Structure formats: C-alpha cells, structure tokens
Structure 1
Amino acid sequence: MRLTQPAPPESVDLDAVDLTDPLLYAHGDPHSIWNAMRHRDPVRWQQVDETRGFWSVTKFEDADLVLRDHTLFTSQRGTMLFLLGKEDPARGRQMAATDPPRHTRMREPMQRALTNKQVEKYREAVTTEVHRLLTPALGGEPFDFAEAMMSLPMATAGTMMGLPREDWTRLTRLTTMSIAPDDPEFAEAGGANATLQLAHRELFAYFHDILRERRDNLGDDLISLLMGMEIDGRRLETGAILSNCYSLILGANVTTPFVPTGAMAEVVGTPVLDAWRSDPKLLNTGVDEALRWSSPANHFMRYALQDVELRGRRIRAGDAVVVWLGSANRDEEAFASPFTFDITRKPNRHVAFGSGAHYCVGHTVARMSLKILFTELFQSFDDFQLAGEIEHLHSNFVAGVKHMPMVMKIRDAAVERYAELAR
C-alpha cells in the first residue's frame, strides 16, 4: 500500500470510495481517504451489495475500543473482509476466531512458548537467514529487497514450527496467495476465490501431513505444543490444530516482511536513515515507528454483540465493524505529526499488532526478527539507494510492498564476515 501524505480532507469524494477494492491499496491513495474519514465521517457505513455492508472505524480511540472490548465486539464471526457475511468455519477453534475466556485458555500455552526468553533461542537461525537473504546485495547490483523480505518470516516460523527448510519457499507463496488472492502475480486461473481456495486447500493438506508425521514424534516445536494442548480437559481436535497452524504461519508472513520495506521506502535518501544508522540507542524506537508507519495488517473485522453508539453512529447488534489499522496509526489525536517518520517517537501506542486479548501472540518473534534485520542492514551496509519502481500488493488485508529494487554497498568491515558465511 502506498504510504502517502494525505490530500485535503474536503477534496476526497467519500461516496465514490470502495475500501474493499484490492486495487485501491496497490494503485490508489487510501491514506487520503482515511484522513478524510477521520475528519468528516470517522464511523462510516459502506454498503457492499444488496445484503452486506460494514462500518469503517478510522480513529485510534474507536479502533482500540473495538479491538479490545470482546464483550461488545466478537471475533468469532470472521476477522477479515473476505469473510464478510459468512460464518467463520474456524470460530471457537482458532485463537484468532475465538473470544475469551476460551481464547485465553488457548493462548496461554502459546504465549509461554513465545516469551522473549524462549524466542531468543532462535536468534542464531534468524541471523543466519538475514545474512542469506542479503547476500544477493553484496555485488552492488540492484536486488529486490521486498522479495527478499517476503522470505524472512519463515526463518522463525519455519524453525519454531519444525518445518523442513525445503518447504519454506512454497509455504511463503501459499500464504501470500491467501492474503493477496487478487494480485496477478499470485493469482491462479479462476480468479481470487479460486486462488484463495487453492491456497487454503494446499496449506491445510500440508499441515495435515505434518501432523500425521509428528503424531508419534512430538518435540518442543509449536506444532507439537498444539498437538499436546488441552483446553477444558480435552485435547484440541485435528481441525483446530490445523486451523491454528494456518493462523500462526499466516500471522508471521503478514507482519514481518512489510515493515522493513515500508520503512526503507520512506527513509532511504533522507537524513532520517543516517540518524537511525548512527545511533544504536534508536534501534528499538525506530522499529516501533516502522511498525506504526507500515501497519502491515491493513484491517481487522469484528461484529457487534449489542447495539453500540460510536461518535453519534448507532451500530446495531450483528453489524460488521472494520478497523483500519493504518488509519488509526495516523490519527493526529493519538500521534503528534503522524505523517512524519519519527525514529525518536516515544511513547508509541500503535495498534500494528492489534489490541486487547487478540494482541498478536507472535509480537516477540516479529520484534526480534526486525531488530536483527535492521541491525544487520545498518552495521554491514551503507549507501542505500532505490533502484527502480516500487510495486504494491493487490490486497485489502495487507499493506505490503512486493517489489522494491535497491542498491546497497557492503562496508569493508563486513566483507570478510560474509565471505566466511559463504564458505
């Protein structure tokens, strides 16, 4: 998704806007639209067809309420727009599609496995993968930084789930098909629905085979954790395990890769990049700002459990409510100078990982991966330059860059280290 400075709010024709259109996020100007909505109609109804519609929430305070308060807004009827008007088959079985208190009981074992201390065990694997992905840049020729970043999440997700490395490329493509089925680069014959169905079918079949192989050989990986998990005294059924495997790998591939591309697209060629690189103390605040800035998960959907009034709008029980995270993270009432990439921003209460009970369970993994990546970029390379056109995913769910040619010059001090890694 293009990360632009917004047009004046009054210049946008909100009646002509279709926030479900994937092309809007590839070629349009969603930040101008959201900015206009925040100023003119922050809780706005969009009719999709004769029977379906949803409320768009664009202000930070309202977004936080909708995502946080599961007594008013449920996750169990679908959390993404492609499920609008349908019943989510994963409800009550997948963490992302389950409300507390059952959600809490499902989440606790996973959360214990993903503490900062536990995640640190995978630092070496992630560092090795970062080096491998950046190796094509060593010659000083243009290389596709975005394409490389799309492979990064499997370094942690693949390792932590105990998935064979030779499967990572295929799994990356299948998850991208799931989040961007309208994108011509990832679409299959038959269009978006056919692409989505194929991706889901292959991913679930893949994990079904993994479960069968692992049933008599449980380890300390996340899939084994799911297989041994008991909720209310009962083991998770196979369908629930498969659904959560899908959710874990999807979450990893949605969050991590599009943060560095969004950030670098903004700061390359500016004094901000020089300042960020030169001061290690700014690594953490810079990564948080990169998360706010890119807001890779574009939306989350909920359904109202009872009549609710937001900013004078009456949301009726059963209505779908869509929170636009990139809009909430640019709300001038929550963030000073929200359209400025500020590597010193603190506090930074962004909702890039969501909010409340459904706050991303893998946030520790994402943060570690991003810190390793930016540390490596800043310590080993300089003279960053964009070397071609940036291309954005056709997706209303992910704010992502799919191609971003860059040239980077390796520092003399890093040449020997990369030569040793290549041996």
Structure 2
Amino acid sequence: MCHHQDCPKKMKLDHSVSPDDVDLEATDLTDSDLYAHGDPHSVWTAMRHRDPVRWQQVDEDRGFWSVTKFADVDLVLRDHTLFTSERGTMLFLLGKQDPAGGRQMAATDPPRHTRMREPLRRALTARNVEPYRDAVTAAVRRLLAPAVSGEPFDFARVMMALPMATASTMMGLPREDWDHLTRLTAMAVAPGDPDFAEPGGENATLQRAHRELFGYFHNVVRQRRRNPGDDLISLLMDTEVDGEKLDSGAVLSNCYGLILGANVTTPFVPTGAMAAIAGTPALELWRSDPSLFHSGVDEALRWSSPANHFMRYAVRDVELRGKRIRAGDAVVAWLGSANRDEEVFDAPFTFDVRRKPNRHMAFGSGPHYCVGHAVARMSLKILFTELFEGFDHFEIVGEVEHLHSNFVAGIKSMPMTMKARSDALDRYAALTPC
C-alpha cells in the first residue's frame, strides 16, 4: 500500500523533471505507454519551452505537428478556415480518412456543423438538463454507497460508471445496458490498455468497440422509429440540416459521439482532483468554503484535462511560430499542455481551488466546444457536493494506475478510503447492505 504523496504513479497529472532534461528526440507522443507509465507533462513543458510547434515523424508515410502553447491550441481548435476537423480528430485516425467526416458533429466543420449542433445545444442547456438532477443525484449516491463501510474501494473504477448514468438517462437507454456500454466506450478510447484490450491488439479492440456500439445504437434507433420519445436520440432523429433530416448513418454516428464524449470528459475529473488533493489542506479548504465550490470544479477540470488531444488538418499553408505547416499536414493540439501554460496560468502545477480567472480548455475551444458541457458540469457539481457533504478523511491507500491511452488522460484505478459523516448516513442507509 502507498500513501498518495509517495506513490510513484502520481506524476502523470504533474511534472517531475526539468524541461532541460527531457530528450524530445526520444519521445513518441503517440505511444500510450507514455501516458500510463511515463511523464507526459514534463515532455509538454519541455516542448512549450523549447519547441512549441514540433514535427514528429511516425513512419515513412505519416507524421504530425504538435502544438503545446495555449494560444496555438486555441487557434488550431477555433479556426476551421485554417484547420479542418473533417479528416479525423484523433491520432488513431492519422493518415486515414475519417468515415464520419461531414456526418458526425465532431468531424464536421461550420457552417454545417453549426446547423447540426444547434438542436442538441438547445436540448443540453443548463436549464434543460436541470430536470435530470434528481436522477443523477440518485445514481451518484448508489455509486458512493460502498464507501460508507470505511473499507477501501476503487474510486476511479466507480467514477468510470458516472457519465453513463447521466448520458444513458438522457438518451433513454435501459440501466441493464450501462455496464456493457461503459466497457465498450473504454475500449474505444483506450484500446491499448490491458484491462480493455482484445486478444487481437489495438485495432481489433477498436473494431469491436465500434462495431458493437454502432450495432447497439442501430437497434435503439430502429426502436425509436416505432416509438419516438423526448430523449436525445429521438431529438437527433428529428433534426433537420439544410432542409433534410439526418440519415440513419449520421444519427448513429452522433449517438456514438455523444456517448463517447460523456465517458471521456466526466469520470476522470474527480479522480484526477482527488489524486492531487486527498488528505491535503487544499481539499479541506474547498470542502469547507462554499464560496470556492464553483472555482474548485473549474480547477479540477483544468488539472485533469481528460481529453488529451484533438487533431486537425491544415487547409492551406500556415506559418506558426516560425514553422511552415503545409496544406494537408496533421496538427495535434495538446489540451493537457495548454492547461499548464505558464503564460496563461500562474503556478500551473499547483491545484488552486481559488484560481480566478481560469480559462481552461478542458471542454475544448471554438465551434467544437463540448456540446454537453452543461451536463458534465451538473454531474461534477452533484458528485463533489455528495463527496463533501457525505464524507471526510479521504485517503489514497493503494497504487494509482493510469489509462494506456494517448487520447484520454485518466486514472483507471485508485483505491481509497473515506469516512461517512454521521449527519449524512441516512441518505445512504437504503443503499447499503445491513
């Protein structure tokens, strides 16, 4: 057992070596092992200081530019006239044509993207997601109930089930399917992780995840055509773009994007925050001062930056910090690096619950700013409220393990103990065994 301050796996959301000591020539940012066992923040810090627009050759035919400064990441994600989303938005698609291009919101540029996005944007405003608050609160309490015993439980694995409870409720998906969908989405974002990988390797894992998720939603859409409701899938099926309803392929692609987006953003934020501050004065300050609640949630988002990167392709030749990016070149924007940029954030490697302003990019930037950000914020606020009102004495009591993934920065296992507060036991009494 290790206390969190001594655990060697803690550093993935921090940096541990001087930027001058990082060998950038020996660094492969596509390697999922870097994010599970290495020190990506030290690499990104070195790149921000020494080579903020850097080319990496992957093989004879493929390579990409990395941008690591906040301003450059913002430009790449914001300006679709310079950098397009329609050829692939994640590194596993490097050099391939994205079949979702022009059909899925995440892989479509404005103005079509804007028209596709608008119905969902309206459906997912803070006001419109408020009616789901009670259902999400109940789900959070069910997830936290095992901690009432005071025995160690794996906080990270519990948190991986959180977004499915929210997204599936809003999409009208039955509870008995949630665990299976959670595993499939984990396979899709971390196909190289040994906990989720198929025997055939990363490609086989990705193919199975895509095939089963699309097959699942194909059946759901077919049922919705017979019995439409007021859920998000029915909304997608009724969405018109340029005077025509989305075809079945576009509906399926966007269902896939929604469920993946929910499972990428939400679960790794509370885990990353607790890894940083459990058992420290920072947690007690946040828990005890209601005026810091919202700034603390934003700091948890900045610190965790669960979406590691987004990829774009240059539409035309662009010069960035003296480097010539050619039309057609892949450009990878590293959000985790942008959210530690010393030019934007004072003491970026300090988890500061008082941090204001906090212009983090945990939800992206520009036209593709996460359409479900209000849902994610509601889920996180409910989760932290339940943690702070229901428990104290948080301690990490085992090894912290990170996902093998270059797309998601996340902790997949983190044994913890926490003590239920006596004034909160009633809310868990019906959820725990006698």
What TM bracket, shorter-length normalisation?
A: over 0.9
Partner of 2:254 in structure 1? 244
Could you tell me which of 178, 194, 199 is aligned with 1:189? 199
Partner of 1:122 in structure 2? 132
Partner of 2:360 in structure 1? 350
Could you tell me which of 6, 27, 43 is aligned with 1:17? 27
Superposition misfits of 4+ residues, deviation over 2 angstroms:
420-423
Q: 2:199 corresponds to which letter in structure 1?
A: A
Judge which range, 2-11 or 174-183, deviates more.
Answer: 2-11
Partner of 2:384 in structure 1? 374
Percent identical residues = 76
Q: Is the 8 A contact 2:145 2:431 kept in 1?
A: no
Displacement of 1:417 in angstroms is: 2.0
Q: 2:224 corresponds to which letter in structure 1?
A: R
Q: 1:29 corresponds to which letter in structure 2?
A: D
Q: Distance in 2 between matches of 1:116 and 1:43?
A: 37
Q: Distance in 1 between matches of 2:376 and 2:148?
A: 25
Partner of 1:59 in structure 2? 69
Q: Is the 8 A contact 2:15 2:39 kept in 1?
A: no
Q: 2:295 corresponds to which letter in structure 1?
A: T
Query: Residue deviations 1:208-258, cap 9 Å, x none?
Result: 000111102111100000111111111111000000000000000000000
Judge which range, 107-116 or 3-12, deviates more.
Answer: 3-12
Partner of 1:392 in structure 2? 402
Does residue 140 of the first structure (1) align with residue 150 of the second (2)? Answer: yes
Map 1:212-231 to 2 at 5 A: 212-231=222-241
Taking structure 2 as the reference length, the TM-score comes to 0.96
Map 1:154-173 to 2 at 5 A: 154-173=164-183
Could you tell me which of 75, 95, 101 is aligned with 2:85? 75
Partner of 2:7 in structure 1? none
Could you tell me which of 43, 50, 65 is aligned with 2:60? 50
Could you tell me which of 327, 336, 351 is aligned with 2:337? 327
Displacement of 1:5 in angstroms is: 2.7
Q: Is the 8 A contact 2:317 2:324 kept in 1?
A: yes
Q: Distance in 2 between matches of 1:279 and 1:329?
A: 25
Does residue 88 of the first structure (1) align with residue 95 of the second (2)? Answer: no
Q: Is the 8 A contact 1:6 1:35 kept in 2?
A: no
Query: Residue deviations 1:376-423, cap 9 Å, x none?
Result: 100010011111000110000000100000000000001122114559
Map 1:284-303 to 2 at 5 A: 284-303=294-313
Q: Distance in 2 between matches of 1:225 and 1:391?
A: 38
Q: Is the 8 A contact 1:254 1:297 kept in 2?
A: yes
Partner of 2:413 in structure 1? 403
Give unmatched runs, 5+ long, in structure 1.
none
Q: 2:153 corresponds to which letter in structure 1?
A: F
Q: 1:268 corresponds to which letter in structure 2?
A: A
Partner of 1:198 in structure 2? 208
Taking structure 1 as the reference length, the TM-score comes to 0.99
Partner of 1:278 in structure 2? 288
Query: Residue deviations 1:15-58, cap 9 Å, x none?
Result: 00000000000000000000000000000000000000000000
Secondary structure of residue in 2 paired with 1:2: helix
Q: Distance in 2 between matches of 1:35 and 1:309?
A: 22
Superposed CA RMSD: 0.9
Secondary structure of residue in 2 paired with 1:203: helix
Q: Is the 8 A contact 1:329 1:350 kept in 2?
A: yes
Q: Distance in 2 between matches of 1:416 and 1:157?
A: 27
Displacement of 1:142 in angstroms is: 0.1
Q: Is the 8 A contact 2:66 2:334 kept in 1?
A: yes
Q: Is the 8 A contact 1:258 1:400 kept in 2?
A: yes
Q: Distance in 2 between matches of 1:318 and 1:97?
A: 16
Secondary structure of residue in 2 paired with 1:244: helix
Displacement of 1:6 in angstroms is: 4.1
Q: Distance in 1 between matches of 2:329 and 2:17?
A: 30
Q: Distance in 2 between matches of 1:101 and 1:6?
A: 43
Q: Distance in 1 between matches of 2:159 and 2:425?
A: 21
Query: Residue deviations 1:333-369, cap 9 Å, x none?
Result: 0111100001011111111100000000000000000
Partner of 2:107 in structure 1? 97
Map 1:408-423 to 2 at 5 A: 408-421=418-431
Secondary structure of residue in 2 paired with 1:85: coil
Q: Is the 8 A contact 2:56 2:65 kept in 1?
A: yes
Secondary structure of residue in 2 paired with 1:402: strand
Partner of 2:3 in structure 1? none
